[in-house]
Structure formats: structure tokens, C-alpha cells
Amino acid sequence: MDRLDNTVRPYAWGSTTAIPKLLGVEPTGEPQAEMWMGAHPGAPSRTDRGTLVEVIDADPGRELGPRSVARFGPRLPFLLKILAAGAPLSLQVHPNLAQAKEGYEDEERRGIPVDAPHRNYKDANHKPELICALTEFDGLCGFRPPARTADLLDGLGVDSLKPYVDLLHAHPEEAALREVLTALLSADREEMAHTVAQAAVACARLGGDYAPYADIAHHYPGDPGVLAAMLLNHVRLQPGEALFLGAGIPHAYLSGLGVEIMANSDNVLRCGLTPKHVDVPELLRIVRFEAADPGVLRPEAAPDGEEVYETPTDEFRLSRHVLSEGAAAHDLSRATPQILLCTAGSVRAGEHELTPGRSVFVPAGEKAEVSGGGTLFRATVVA
């Protein structure tokens, strides 16, 4: 096993206290948004043998195992994170695999630099993801039924929202959602800022179901993404509950601390709540305009005390072990690569003592015995 030394990303929306509290260190006063565990070239984990990218590149077959290499190629197919949202993240959506390949190849043909601010596709991969709450965690996930959104908007008493209310009532579901999102993101920014300001005042006054949107408006005054956010289901996860975000599902994380795992991709199309590029035509091509229940996931029991968060993707598999002090060691050896992350208590993984926020990389086929009293998340692949 390799103990991992991981990079914390200081994005502006990050909490200043959540990750330091987990790690048991003093806050710096700066936002600490995400701690990355894996072999993403943007911030690879470091080991005594070099960065995890260097370790895997030196011998992909040994580190990843033949099954993973045959299925996903010579790279770690997932990225594990601790995510700490102190303010809402951008409203966003991810492409499916075919859309990602098509979009990437098109932008490559057009010679758009990968680091250009208006580039949509940084790679040719899709980006399904799963967020599991460590604390109470608020987010937005998927469209709510148009009639319910119409009632929510109507309840604000803002005259300039009446056309959107009428659209949501008048059309079939897909057409209603598409027309309203298109109208919100294509409208004159100055006029829309005035409408958003009126809606924000009403949300703050009404509270209740409107409270999350009042907070979003506080962080992003005048942003049309505030109204786009009101098209989506608000979800509050309790610790241990999770959300799976598949392709085309609009979503945003609002607040809380969680463990996030995703396919190893940077492809994001933004809908709002951001100063970054919003490509409305491409966004509308990717979004799935259908109302759906957010589908809160709870772990399913598996042998040896493992609790698995089942998802339809193969690039990652996230599970959890709640270990009891004095109990027999668990053998987590597996023919695929693993990252083991402690989030509570103290866990012994091989020769390494893991406290909250500490992690190890386990090469494919390597012995992986764990014991102790604490909570351990296990990230691997389905292959």
C-alpha cells in the first residue's frame, strides 16, 4: 500500500473550516473546497514512489491489474474527493460518453486550446459522479415536475415571472422545461437581474421551500441561474446518504461535507451560478429535459460488513466499512486498484494508521487487511 499525500483545492466556494476540522488541523482562513485522491494530472496524489500518475505510468498492469487495464485503459478510471461546500457550486450538467467524444473531437478539430475559458470538453470521457454525505448536505438534483415549479414561481408574486409560469402549465413536460430554461439563460441580463432581485426578496420573506433559493441568490445576486435552480429538486442528505448524478442531469451542491467519486474527467457544462463560460446551445443539447425523483441512495449490505452504494456505472464502485475496535481484521484484497479513505475514528490499513482524511492506494491484487474502530470508504472499479 502507498500512503497518499493529497492536494486541497482552494476554490472560492469552499468551506474555510470543514476539511481542516476533518483533518484535525487549524484552519488557514482560506477556502478549502476539495481534497483530491487519485491520478488526475491536475493534482495527482503523491506517494513515496512519486506521484500516483508516475507510479501507474511506470507499470499500469501491475498497479491497475489486467482487468482494469483491459476495460478502461492504462489509467486509474476514477477520482475520489472530499468535497466541502461553504457556498453553492455552479449549476451544471455532464455529457454522456458519446457526447463527450463528439464534443472533444469537434473542439480539437477547431483548434480550441484545452485551457481556453470557452472550451467545453477537456477530454473525451463522460463524468458520472456520486456524492455521499458526511454531514447534513444540501443540493439540487434533476427537474421537479413543471406544474410544481409553476406553483413555486407563482407563489413569489413577481409579475415578470408570469410568462414562465404560463409556459410550465401550457406545454408537455419536456417542451415546458426546455422552453423555460432556454428563455431564462437567453434573456437580457440586465432585465433578468431585476427579476432575480425581486425573486430573491420574495424567497427571503417566504422562507420554507424558498429558503435554499434565497441563500443561492445571496451568493449570486442577479444571476439567472438562481431562477434556473428553482426548476430543480432541492435535496437534503443525512450522513451516509448519497446522490448519483448521471449524464444530462442538472445539479448543484449547496452546502455540506461529503465524499465524492467520479469518472476521471473534467467535462462540465454550466447553467449558471458562475462567472465562467455558459454555452447555452451546447448545454441545451446535453440536458435531459425530464422530471425525476432525485433518488437518494442508501448503502446496501454486502458480505463482510461492506455497505455498497450501487450505481449503473463501472468506472467506480464506492462502499463503506464501519469497523469495531477489537473485531477481526477484514481482508479487502481485490484484483482491481483501490483507494481506502478514513473519515472517522482510527483504522489500520496494512502498515498504515489512518485517521480522518487520510488515505492509501492499494495496487491491484495487493494484500489489504483493515482493522480498528472507525469508518473507512473504499473506492475501486467494476471490472
Give me the active site residues, please. Answer: 270
Q: Is 130 helix (H, G, I), strand (E, B) or coil?
A: strand
CB of 280 closer than 8 Å to CB of 104? no
Q: Which helix (H) or strand (E) holds 143?
A: strand 137-143
Q: Which helix (H) or strand (E) holds 98?
A: helix 97-109
Q: Phi and psi dihedrals of 361, rounded to 5?
A: -105, 130
**Beta-carbon-side half-sphere exposure of residue 117 (alpha carbons within 13 Å):** 5
CB of 13 closer than 8 Å to CB of 55? no
Q: Which helix (H) or strand (E) holds 323?
A: strand 317-323
Q: Which residue reads 422530471 in cell numbers?
A: 291
Q: Phi and psi dihedrals of 303, rounded to 5?
A: -60, 155
83 burial via Cβ count (<10 Å: 0-12, 13-18, 19+): buried
CB of 42 closer than 8 Å to CB of 24? no
* Cα–Cα dist 164/159, whole Å: 10
CB of 271 closer than 8 Å to CB of 248? no
CB of 81 closer than 8 Å to CB of 36? yes
* Cα–Cα dist 164/146, whole Å: 10
Q: Phi and psi dihedrals of 314, rounded to 5?
A: -105, -15
How far is residue 343 CA from its own chain's centroid? 18
Q: Is 339 helix (H, G, I), strand (E, B) or coil?
A: strand
Q: Is 267 helix (H, G, I), strand (E, B) or coil?
A: coil
Q: Is 37 helix (H, G, I), strand (E, B) or coil?
A: strand
